[in-house]
Chains A and B, each alone.
Chain A
Amino acid sequence: MQWETVIGLEIHTQLASKSKIFSGASIAYGAEPNSQACIVDLGFPGVLPVLNEAAVDMALMFGLAVDAQIGSRSVFARKNYFYPDLPKGYQISQFELPIVGRGSLTIDLEDGQQKEIGITRAHLEEDAGKSLHEDFHGMSGIDLNRAGTPLLEIVSEPDMRSIKEAVAYARKIHQLVVYLGICDGNMQEGSFRVDANLSMRPKGQQEFGTRTELKNINSFRFLERAMNFERERQIDLLESGKAVVQETRLYDADRDETRSMRSKEEANDYRYFPDPDLLPVEITEQRLAQAKGRMPELPDQKKARFEADYQLSDTDATLLTQSRPQADYYEQVVATGADPKIAANWVTVELAGALNKAGLELSDSPVSAEQLGGLLKRIADNTISGKLAKQVFEAIWQGEGDADTVIEAKGLKQITDSGQIESIIDEIIAANPKQVEQFQAGKDKLLGFFVGQVMKQTQGKANPGQVNQILLKKLKS
Chain B
Amino acid sequence: MHKKTIVELAAGLKAGEFSSVELTGHFLERIERLDGNINAFITITAEQALAEAAAADEKLKAGEAGPLTGIPIVQKDIFCTQGVKTSCGSRMLDNFISPYDATVVTKLKQAGVVTLGKANMDEFAMGSSNETSFYGNVHNPWDSERVPGGSSGGSAAAVAARMAAAATGTDTGGSIRQPAALCGITGLKPTYGRISRFGMIAFASSLDQAGPMTASAEDAALMLQAMAGFDPRDSTSADHPVPDYSATLNDSLAGLKIGLPKEYFEEGLDGGVRSSIEAALEVYKGLGAEVVEISLPNSAMAVPTYYVVAPAECSSNLSRFDGARFGYRCEDPKDLEDLYKRSRGEGFGAEVKRRIMIGTYALSAGYYDAYYLKAQKTRQLISDDFKQAFEQVDVIMGPATPAPAFKLGEKTDDPVTMYLNDIYTIAANLAGLPGLSMPVQPVNGLPVGLQLVGNYFAEAKLLNVAHKFQQETGWHRLIPEGLD
> B368–A273 contact, CB under 8 A?
yes
Considering only residues 86-109 of chain A, those with a C-beta below 8 Å from chain B are 87-90
CB of B460 within 8 Å of the partner chain = no
Contact with B along A62-83 (1 / 0, CB 8 A): 0000000000000000101010
Q: Which of B32-40, B196-204, B245-253 contacts A (4 or more CB under 8 A)?
A: B196-204
Roughly how many angstroms separate A279 CA and B205 CA in the complex, as a whole number?
Answer: 12
| B79 nearest CB neighbor, chain A only | A46
Q: How far is the CB of B168 from chain A (nearest CB, A)?
A: 13
> A276–B313 contact, CB under 8 A?
yes
> A90–B88 contact, CB under 8 A?
no
Q: How far is the CB of A244 from chain B (nearest CB, A)?
A: 24
Chain B residues with Cβ below 8 Å from A269 are: 364-365
> B319–A279 contact, CB under 8 A?
no
> A46–B372 contact, CB under 8 A?
no
CB of A49 within 8 Å of the partner chain = yes
CB of A256 within 8 Å of the partner chain = no
> B206–A276 contact, CB under 8 A?
yes
With A39-B100, A47-B198 known as contacts, the answer to whether A273 contacts B316 (CB < 8 A) is: yes
With A47-B198, A48-B197, A82-B319 known as contacts, the answer to whether A273 contacts B312 (CB < 8 A) is: yes
Contact of A43 (CB < 8 Å), options: B205, B234, B313, B320: B320
Contact of A48 (CB < 8 Å), options: B99, B235, B326, B336: B235
A-B contact count (CB 8 A): 102
Chain B residues with Cβ below 8 Å from A48 are: 197-198, 233-236
Contact of A82 (CB < 8 Å), options: B199, B206, B340: B340
Chain B residues with Cβ below 8 Å from A50 are: 232-235
Chain A residues with Cβ below 8 Å from B340 are: 82
Chain A residues with Cβ below 8 Å from B206 are: 276
Contact of A78 (CB < 8 Å), options: B198, B236, B316, B324: B316
Contact with A along B322-336 (1 / 0, CB 8 A): 101111000000001
With A45-B96, A269-B365, A276-B206 known as contacts, the answer to whether A89 contacts B201 (CB < 8 A) is: no
CB of B102 within 8 Å of the partner chain = yes
> A278–B363 contact, CB under 8 A?
no
Chain A residues with Cβ below 8 Å from B234 are: 48, 50
> B319–A90 contact, CB under 8 A?
yes
| B231 nearest CB neighbor, chain A only | A48
Contact of A271 (CB < 8 Å), options: B99, B316, B322, B326: B316
Contact with A along B63-102 (1 / 0, CB 8 A): 0000000000000000110000010100001001011101
| A269 nearest CB neighbor, chain B only | B365
Contact of B364 (CB < 8 Å), options: A47, A271, A279: A271
Roughly how many angstroms separate A39 CA and B86 CA in the complex, as a whole number?
Answer: 15
CB of A253 within 8 Å of the partner chain = no
> A47–B368 contact, CB under 8 A?
no
Q: How far is the CB of A271 from chain B (nearest CB, A)?
A: 4
Chain B residues with Cβ below 8 Å from A229 are: none
Contact of A46 (CB < 8 Å), options: B200, B315, B365: B200
CB of A362 within 8 Å of the partner chain = no
Contact of A279 (CB < 8 Å), options: B98, B201, B236, B321: B236
CB of A277 within 8 Å of the partner chain = yes
Contact with A along B199-219 (1 / 0, CB 8 A): 111101110000000000000
> A44–B326 contact, CB under 8 A?
yes
With A45-B88, A46-B202, A47-B198 known as contacts, the answer to whether A89 contacts B322 (CB < 8 A) is: yes
| A142 nearest CB neighbor, chain B only | B324
With A273-B312, A277-B235 known as contacts, the answer to whether A80 contacts B319 (CB < 8 A) is: yes
With A46-B201, A84-B324, A87-B325 known as contacts, the answer to whether A271 contacts B360 (CB < 8 A) is: yes
Contact of B199 (CB < 8 Å), options: A47, A272, A279: A47
Chain A residues with Cβ below 8 Å from B316 are: 78, 80, 89-90, 271, 273
Subset of 12 A-B contacts with CB under 8 Å:
A39-B99, A44-B80, A45-B327, A47-B198, A48-B198, A80-B315, A89-B318, A89-B320, A90-B319, A269-B364, A273-B372, A278-B236
A273-B372, A276-B206 given; 7 more Cβ-contact pairs under 8 Å: A44-B326, A45-B202, A47-B198, A47-B199, A48-B235, A82-B319, A90-B319
4 nearest A-B residue pairs (beta carbon): A89-B319, A276-B205, A271-B363, A276-B206
